[in-house]
A = this chain, B = another copy of it.
Amino acid sequence: MAADLTAVPSVEAHRETLDKALEAIRTREYWSPYPEHPKAYADGETAQAAFDALRGTRFDLDQPGTDGWTGGEVSPYGIDLGVEYPHPDVDVLLPAMKAAMPAWREAGPENRALVCLEILARINARTTEMAHAVMHTSGQAFMMAFQAGGPHAQDRGLEAVAYAYVEQVRTPGTAEWVKPQGKRDPLSLRKDFTAVPRGVALVIGCNTFPTWNGYPGLFASLATGNAVVVKPHPRAVLPLALTVAIAREVLAETGFDPNLVCLAAERPGEGLAKTLALRPEVRVIDYTGSTAFGDWLEENARQAQVFTEKAGVNTVVVDSTDDYKGMLSNLAFSLSLYSGQMCTTPQNLLIPRDGIATDDGHKGFDEVVGDLSAAVGGLLGDDARANALLGALVNPDVKARLEAAASLGEVALASREVTHPDFPDAVVRTPVIVKLDGAKPDDEAAYMSECFGPVAFAVAMDSSKDSVDLLRRTVREKGAMTVGAYTTSGEVERQIEEVCLEEAAQLSLNLTGGVYVNQTAAFSDFHGSGGNPAANATLCDGAFVASRFRVIEVRRQA
């Protein structure tokens, strides 16, 4: 079957969406084509049934090289999904994917972008169903799974498509090159330029944000002509399996080989990511997860361009504020959202031991920590609201870290078990806040390590200057996805900005309203910087897409 985009009439209409996305990444103003409100989605009525129908089934993708079935996802809310996925025979799957690439390359950047947008549109139409899948794999509360796993993830995918498109069309398809030679005839060449893919791109999914962290790499690679094999986290397969199924459906309908996008679900303990990462066909890798495996990929998958988001230690410098209540409620929300299981959640709150100046007068260290603890307690005091904000702990490791954290120092706010009305087996916990002393060497091991989960450290510092120094050291040595700061001092603000510029960390200053340090908006905010140890790439910039393809020139005498 030859490629035929007119077979799917909606594809051509996406040109306008693409143009708007291109404009948005240029202005960085607010924009999104995907509504955030559940009521905007027609699948709201049927999604629960659709999700329930998936449970206990074989998720057949009709992929080549399936040598059995694997599964075993158990929801952090306690239910057994019971879905089985095809297990790949990599020696059959990867050659089939490579064979799919020439026609996709020939389609060119614009057609590839439009097909990607059709995939995103169909994912968008199933947002509510996807929300159930994300909720029951990541443990996110439903509304967060809906928004972060749905429209916000789709935004990030679209953003990547826009970057990929514009990067490929910077070089024209054709040029006439005529070089004057004085009195002699000019030299004249016709030059044809083609964006060519690297090869097969591997996306290694994560447990907490399978779609949000998976879509940028998936769509950046696909839009630049690569085939994409998706290796989901074994606890979060379903959202990416749904994604792959939709992508394959759109590719087939538009006349392309559906094997351009395949799923590679692994058997327990198989280590399929390592196997795939070292295959010569794999030339691009996107990964979100532990620093140890991210470093391993960077060191060993030398044949591939490797984009990693790893662990970091996020800091908030608390120096002073003219909106004490706003600061407390903003921080309380940031610490609570998804039980602190975001790579962007603050961990270390650096507070002068002599306290801070506020619009409500001077507040001592213990007072600030106490007021913050009260703010968190108030925010999560009602179980219904707590469940809606916290979600469930994604795995037993997080629970173990949370429980161990209480012994690291004086507990300012103890973690509390929350019962979920619908899912009695869900492990729902409020955050713990532990006091540490920035001047005590014994405490350093705690605040200089990532403690992923609902654990925050209130670190007493000798001065805000010391806070700034520790911020620099933390970013340089451990990396950071986010930095926050509260200050009314121009001098402290300047120092913190300088640290962030020199150590390459993204900074949120004096957030006291409805925007939180741990949230970034596609088309406007960069997620990570790619310039400190927490990640070697950012979502999304030119560097995230530029090396996923190469431009090949054929020149002929004119």
Identify the A interface with B (CB < 8 A). 25-30, 102, 105, 167, 170-172, 175-181, 187, 189, 191, 193-194, 196, 198, 298-299, 302, 497-498, 500-502, 504-515, 521, 524-526, 529-531, 538, 541-543, 546-547, 550-557
Contacts and interface: CB of A to CB of B under 8 A. Distances in A.
Given A170-B26, A189-B515, A515-B187, A507 B552 contact: yes
Given A29-B177, A30-B178, A191-B524, A497 B551 contact: no
13 contacts: A26-B172, A27-B172, A28-B193, A170-B542, A191-B524, A194-B501, A506-B552, A508-B555, A508-B556, A510-B557, A512-B557, A529-B550, A543-B543
A299 B497 CA distance: 33
In order of increasing CB-CB distance, the 8 nearest A-B pairs are A531-B550, A543-B546, A28-B175, A542-B546, A543-B547, A30-B179, A509-B556, A546-B546
Contacts of A171: 28, 541
Nearest to A523: B177
B187 A555 contact: no
B497 A27 contact: no
Contacts of A521: 177, 179
A29 B178 CA distance: 7
A184 to B, nearest CB: 8
Given A28-B172, A501-B552, 12 more contacts: A27-B175, A29-B176, A102-B502, A181-B514, A194-B501, A504-B550, A505-B552, A508-B556, A509-B554, A511-B555, A529-B552, A530-B550
Nearest to A179: B30
A25 B507 CA distance: 34
A407 to B, nearest CB: 35
Contacts of A497: 554
A29 B175 CA distance: 6
Contacts of A515: 187, 189, 555, 557
Contact of A105 (B170, B193, B501): B501
Contact of A538 (B28, B176, B189, B551): B551
Nearest to A528: B550
